[in-house]
Every structure is written in C-alpha cells, then in structure tokens.
Structure 1
Amino acid sequence: MRLLHVTPTYLPALRYGGPIRTVHALCRALAVLGHDVHVFTTNVDGADDSAVPLASPVDLEGVKVTYFPSRLLRRLYWSPPMARALAREVEGFDAVHLHAVYLWPIWAGARAARARRVPYVISPRGMLVPELMRRKSRWAKAAWVALIERTNLEGAAAIHATSAVEAAHIAGFGWRLPPIVTIPHGVDDPPASSGAALSPDVAAAVEGGRPVLAFGRISWEKGLDRLLAALPLAPTARLVIAGDDAYGHAAFLAAEARRFGVTDRVTILAHHVGGADKEALFGAARVFAMTSLSENFGLAAFEAMRRGVPVLTTADVGMSEIVRDAGAGLVVEPAPAAIAEGLNVLLADAARSRAMGETGRALVVEHYGWPTIARRMEALYRSLGEAGAARP
C-alpha cells in the first residue's frame, strides 16, 4: 500500500519523545512490511527551524519524509506549501493517517483527503480528553472542536485510539463518528549499551539506591504532585523525577517537596534525559510510577515494562488496563494515600515486584513489539479500502 502520514512535526531532534517517536516507529515498521510510506510535516523545531531540506523527500530509515516551511501562525503549523502538495498528491495514496488534532496540518490533510475521496484515519493522540480541554485553552479548543475538528472526525473512515480510556473519551462526544479502533502503541527493544559515561546528576541519582522513577515530560498533566504528596506515607520510597520541564513546573514540584518535608528523598532532573542516562535510570528503578491526571496511553510506563520494571499507575492512564490484566504492577486510586499504599506494597516485597516486572517484560515482548502493532495497523488500512469498495 502507498500510505501518507501527516503530522505537525517529525523527528526534528532526538530530544523529542512521546508522539513523535511513536509516529516514526510505526512508519518505520510499516516500511519494513513492504509499504511505500510517506510523511508530510513541517520544519518547526520549537522556536527554531529544523536543518532539513524543504519540499523534497528525505529517507529516514525507509520512510520518505517531506518537510514544508511554516513561517506564519507557527503555533498552528500553518504551511501553504504543504496545502498545495496535499491537493496535488493525496489522490495517489491508498490511505492517509493524520496524527493529532487542533492543528492546521490535520485540518488540511482531512480536507484534501475528503476532496479526493481518499480514506483517512485520525489519531487524536490523547488531545480529546475533556479534563485537559477544560484546564488548557478551554474556549479556544471548544471553538476549534465545534468549527473544525468535529467535521474532520465525522468525515474520517476510522478513528484510532491507543487505549480503552481514550476510546471512551472520544465516544463521549456523542457525534456521528466512524468506528473507533483501539490499537496500542508499540515499544522498541532497549538499545545496546553504548558504554558512554553518565551525566553527573544521573550518576548521583542512581548511586543513591534503587528509586521510584517517574520519567517523562514534567508538567501538571502528569500528576507528579500526587506522587510527592504520597511520600510522607511511604517512608522507604526515594523518588527520581526526570524529563523535560514544561513551563517551569519543576520549580513548583521542588516547592511541593519542601512543603511535604521530603526534599531529602526527591531528585528532580529537569532536562532531557536520553541514551545511556535514560537506560541507567530505568536500570536502577525499583518501581516505575505514572500518576497522570489523564494519559491516553503512557509510553514511558510501557518502556519500563519492557525493561522488567514493575509499574504503579492510576486508572487515568490508558495503559493501566494492560498493567492490571497482566499483573505487571499495581493500579491504584489517584489519592495520595492509595498511591502510598501501592508504593509500600511494591517496595516491601522485592520478590513479588521482580515477578511483576518479569511478567510485564514477557507480555510486551510477545504482543507489543512494533512489528506486531504495524501489522494491526496494516489490517486497519486494508479494511478502509474494502469498506470503500463495498459502498455503492
């Protein structure tokens, strides 16, 4: 199949994680299966531009990526050259896959696909969670949903959710939606050891004993204040929080640690952590904790499972259903007392924790590698063509 993926940004630098990494991993795995995979994206790299060729495909591990400039309305990733390319080329693809909502490339891709009667899939990527919409740009997002996103979603051939939690959020809008298909993220195998020296702050963090690790973007959505509030009730827990700092939230967490009197048991690494540093943190972790207010999936927790680390999570995290069903950790209520109780159970029984970690590792290896996930997505794309052929 000839497949077009449209995303606002795509691998501008290795420091990016989450959705960008998973989109590339999916595209790469689809290319390995023999599909002709193309990506249309912009050259936006935060406040800067990526140093990439423009309007000409670049081969990234078998994926043909075309970058387009975005010079105005960059927060929406507006790119007239991309619009012209979509209008000119979209008809030559068997299916289009749009990654995200609220952003101009998704609107442009959906509009072009509908105009040429090419079936398209939308992956909202956790951006249609009512609680997050209420707490961040509430009125702007409500207007965008009403004026633009509803049409995009109702016109799709399918909507892709990564978990039952996300699927329920999407279905809750009550619109005339197409089928919502749940296919989880995959996870890469851990990289081989590079032998690189650890950063001094990471080395110090792992030398202090086996911590509870919270890894990922440091922001209010991650519910890290819940985790800090649990520490006074979990006296043996030492917490390491690591990841890119969003909007100075790390300073707020440091103040919360002081307020709860647990500063001596909390280390905050408020910067990008990757490579050998990341593997060292996962390797040292006794427990991986994810207590987000809402998480459509929870990729970092999945990465912990792949490395044999037991996971403590709340039901607001999409992949918690996998943790619960597999017995790969504990799913707890979001209250500090419940989080503390879960930490105490996992930290007190090392043998049980190790067994949970190994159960999680075996499950991920067998069912959630990217080749397996790509085959499931391939089946979804093929079903779109079959459904279209069956229409009168």
Structure 2
Amino acid sequence: MKASKGSVVVESFKDRLRLRWRVSGKRYCLSLGLPDTQESRMLAELKARQIELDAISGNFDTTLAKYKPQSLAEKPVNDAQLLTCAELFQQFMEYKSQSLHPRSLDRYKTTLKYLHQFYYREDETRKLLAAQNAIAILQTHVEQFNAWLQSKNAERARKERLILLSACWSWGITKGFVEANPWKDLQKQVESAPKQPLKPFTQEEVKAILAAFKTHPQYKHYADFVEFLFLTGVRTTEAIALRWMHINSNMSSIWIGESMSRGVPQTNKVRSIPLNDRIRLLLQTRKPENYLLEDLIFPSPEGLPIDDRNFRNRAWVKMLELAGVEYRKPSNTRHTFICMCLSAGVNPAVVAQITGCDLQSLDRDYAEYIPSVSVLPDLYANG
C-alpha cells in the first residue's frame, strides 16, 4: 500500500510488514515483524494511524518505543537505506560521470529513464513495486523488469542495461545502500549467452552504398567520409575528429589518437595507419587549396564536426535504403574492414595494430575469418 503524502506507508519487506514515514524532514522505518496477512495489515494500519495522530498533535515519540512491538528495537534509518531503485541508480550515475565520456553517460541516462518508467507506471502491480526501495528489490522483481525490458529494447541494449544495473547494486553494497545484488544472476546469463554473429557488408553491398552516396544530391557530401571508413576501419567518431595535421608530409600514414561524438572531443589510444594509393588519392582530391592544418578533413556541409547520430539517422539510413542494402550501423564499416583483411590473409597482429583492437578481441569476435592452417609446413625441408 502506498499512502498519500505526509502519511505512514504500510509495505511488505521480505514477507514481513513494516512502516515507513517522515516527520520534520527525517525518515523513519519500523519493522513490525508481522507476516503479510489481512489481519496483520489491519494491525499495521492502526499503528500507522497512531503515528500520524501523534505527529499532528506534537506527541510523536522519536525513539519509536511507543509504536514498536515489545520484542523489537528499531531505530530511525538514514536516507541512504531508503533509496528507491531510481535514486540509487541516479547516485551511481553521478559517481560514474566523473570518469565517463558524455556519450557513454547517455547509456546510464537511458537506463535511469527505464527504471522510472517501469517502477512508476499507473497500474496496481507497478504501484506495489514503486513502494519498495532499492534494498527491498527481490529476484522476482528483477525478472519482471527484465521481461518488460525485452519488449522495449533490442537484445544488445537489454544486456547492456542489465550489466549496468548489476554494477550499480554491486557499488551500492560497498556504500551500504543495499545488502545484496539481485541483478547478478541475470548479468551472468547475458554475459555467457552466445553473441549474435557479425554480418559484414559484402563487396557488392559496399559498392552499392558508395554509389548511393556519390550520386545523391543531398548526401553526396559524405561520400568520401563513408569511403574512408570502409578503406581504413577507423571508428566513425575517429574519422570525424581527423584534421589535416594528422597526416604525415608524404601522405604515407595518418595518426589516430582522438575521436569526436556529437561535438565532444575525446582522447583515444594512439596508433598510426599506413595509407595505400587509393586512400592517398581520396585525401589529395578533397584537400582544399588554402587549408589550415587544424581544419577538419571531413566536416559537415556547414563546416562543423559531423554529428554522428544525425549522420546515422538521416544520411546513412536513407542511403542504405536506396542501395537496397539491409540496415546495419555505420560501425559495421569497421567490422567489414576487419573481416575482409583477415579473410585476405592479413596477419591478425597487423589488423589489431591498424584498428586499435587487441588480439584477444580479434580471436574472440573474428575467429571464423582467420584462415586456419590445415597442414603444418615442413620448416626444415632443405635441412
């Protein structure tokens, strides 16, 4: 039961009734030790009314001795012990924001939005859950949230949110906000579940996408940008941040060490990518006559940094549709580059160096594209 503002809330916690209320800005919680039955709730309601009357008349007993059963010794609890799920995650997000990139923080904000949506819906089931705080969330509530989340999110996004929630409750344990992590088992399930296999673009699809960009009157401005993504395997945000100063004097290599998402710059792991003739020609052709070293190589039509989200939602979606190619995110240009390099026999260590991946990730995510040796060579045939 959730009472109106200023009144005492009667709720079930671990199948036992307790009262929760606030007096003079201070929160109180009193466990009655009674099972959640109709008879016990009647007694709990009487206790609740007594507390309300005492608070109004100025006779409230701050020690709670007047209201608690003889065998119990409860005391006021602090605000941290009464955090709701959303409040706990809000604090966790504020803690993480000190070290997170703004784009990464968006995932936390979206997860917080889903917590609010689920635990504060206008039906009786959700009202009951909303009355419970973070410390009272049980495995059944977690499973209900997960089932609801499945109807709202793609599989990858759902897994990401469950991992964040598990991390939040683990952090909450260290802070004394909660006593257990009911999300942990779900996190293990999603982490151990087999990943959906990658689906790189075929050579024919790449040609169709590039042709669509090069011939479209509105989006042909991005043709070189998209071709560069396919030819180098850089991340979309890395290509957006590239400036002419990042190319060496003879255009034999390009320095990668920054990225930009929605106008916010970030430092990346530094690496250098060797350029072939096709990439050099692309860059030389688009290089302005009177350029500055700090100018962006791939600016937006307005001369500003490309907004990666707007590019994806507008130009990318439209061009794949016109090309008759099944939708995949712009990041798939990077997957395609890696898959094609490995399939062509490029040493995985070289691919890892060029793309900024680690060998462990390549072996895990791209094993099927790495040619295997069926027969060991005779290394000492001439010995």
Q: Give the TM-score normalised by the residue count of structure 2.
A: 0.30
- Decide which structure has greater strand share: 1
Asked which structure has the greater RCO (Cα within 8 Å, sep 6+), the reply is 1
* TM score, norm. by length of structure 1: 0.30
